[in-house]
Amino acid sequence: MILKYQSTLIEKMQLSERVWKLSFTRPDDPWTFTAGQYMLFHIDAPQGKGIRQYSIASTPSKRGQLDFIIEFVEHGLAGIALNSMLVGETLTLQGPAGVFTFQNPQRPVIFLATGTGIAPIYSIIKDRIEHSHSLPLLLFWGFRYMEDTYFIDDLTALQNQSPLFHFNVCLSREDMNTGGSQVEQCLKGRVNQGLEEYLNKQGLSIADFDYYLCGSKHIVDSLRQYLSDKHVTKDHIFFEKFTI
């Protein structure tokens, strides 16, 4: 049920230099959403008006609030407006919308995300674990440097909760020799390189999984082409592209 309503900001937490977790009030039941969907943010600020889409990072079972992982882009309309927003202030939200949802496959699943593309994927993974998903769920999440990472404790908690879930952080520009113990646990390179390294070590074939991709347009397009070149057919690739 799509609903337009006034939502109150109830929590604002900085996750990294430019990324924040914002929590807003959600409508009362029977309103709900499907893990992986997004909400429309109606921005009305002195700098201008506009509508932006942000994926929900929380699960449908989480009552009372909707969580979002948002990168505040410098000079961006939404970034400026949300960065200056204080707890207790209101904003018009509308939704849910979107079709980047779990398709109940009969094969193991690999999630490929970069940056805030983790938001809908985290929601899907957590929702699947809550519903006792019976097939392996693997996540490869890409950053440039270790200092850019966040949400690691949350993913570790999910990994400890379910033996079927495993995640890897991939660092494309980090010096793996001088980064310390945390960096040593990460994979070197872009997410597709981390994916290939991991599957080769496990003796697994790239073509034997369903894939969920989320990130910026050029990264998602690049990953789709990479998977296609590895003989993964289109019906086993699901994706969401983020735009600024």
Q: Is residue 2 within 8 Å of 97, Cβ to Cβ?
A: yes
User: How many residues are present in the chain?
Assistant: 244
What is the model's pLDDT at position 177?
67
Least confident of 10-19, 98-107, 116-125: 98-107
**Residue 156 pLDDT greater than 70, yes or no:** yes
User: For residue 159, which amino acid is it?
Assistant: Q
Is the model's pTM score more than 0.85? yes
What is the model's pLDDT at position 4?
97
What is the model's pLDDT at position 86?
97
**C-alpha distance from residue 83 to each of 18, 67, 91, 219 (Å):** 10, 15, 13, 26
pLDDT, mean of residues 60-88: 92
What is the model's pLDDT at position 93?
98
What is the model's pLDDT at position 244?
55
193 pLDDT band (50/70/90 cuts)? very high
Question: 109-242: same fold as 3-97?
Answer: no
Ramachandran category for residue 123: left, alpha or beta (phi over 0 → left; psi -120 to 50 → alpha): alpha
Cα–Cα dist 3/190, whole Å: 38
**C-alpha distance from residue 131 to each of 122, 134, 150, 158 (Å):** 14, 9, 25, 13
What is the percent of the chain with per-residue pLDDT over 70, rounded to a whole number? 96
> Exposure pattern of 211-239 as b/e (b: 16+ CB <10 Å)?
bbbbbbeebbebbbebbeeeebeeebbbb
Q: Where are the domains of the chain?
A: 3-97, 109-242
Q: Which CATH number fits domain 109-242: 3.40.50.720, 3.40.50.80, 3.40.190.10, 1.10.150.120?
A: 3.40.50.80
Least confident of 36-40, 59-63, 132-136: 132-136
Q: What is the CATH number of domain 3-97?
A: 2.40.30.10
Which tops the pLDDT comparison, 178 or 124?
A: 124
